[in-house]
Structures are given as C-alpha cells and as structure tokens.
Amino acid sequence: MPEFSQRNERIVALFVVGVLAFNPPLLRVFDAGPDVMLFGIPLLYLYLFLAWAALIVCVALLIERPKRGSGKQEAFASRETKIRRDSG
C-alpha cells in the first residue's frame, strides 16, 4: 500500500522506539537506585510510566490524525469493509 507508506514507516519506528525504551539497556540508564527520586517518585518508576504514556500519545496522534493524500486509499478500504459486513 504505497499510499500508506509514510505512516506505516512511522508506526514501525514508534514500535522500535518502544522496544528500545522498554528494555534493559535503556532501562539500566534510568535504574538509578532508590535514592534518586523526582517529585518523590523513584526515577526508574517515573521513567517507565512517562515513557509508556509518551508512546501511547504518539501512537494516538499518529493513528487518529486525518491522513493527507491518502483519501482515495482510505475510501477504498472502507468501501471494502462495508462490502464485507454486508455479506455477513
């Protein structure tokens, strides 16, 4: 689906960022021990939840944003879906 390619690439990129952010090498960077706290919360906890929230926000923005230049493809896909549903 060439029309989608840029968004697809962004989705994959987000996935890769997520994989990196949520796994040991990067986690260790933020694994500062119980004495390093920010706003009274251990850095490791804060990082995990903030990174998680950030990923969700990015995905939401990416997925929900109205697409430019791919209207035709989208219309096509939804028409197909409609056919599918009708035949059910």
Interface residues with other proteins (CB under 8 A)? Answer: 1, 8, 11-12, 14-15, 18-19, 22-24, 27-28, 31, 33-35, 37, 39-42, 44-45, 48-49, 52-53, 55-57, 59-60, 63-64, 77-78, 80-81, 83-88
User: In angstroms, what is the minimal distance from the CB of 69 to other proteins?
Assistant: 13
**38 sits in which H/E element:** strand 37-38
Q: In whole angstroms, give the CA distance from residue 85 to residue 81.
A: 6
User: In angstroms, what is the minimal distance from the CB of 66 to other proteins?
Assistant: 11
Residue 48 φ then ψ, to 5°: -60, -45
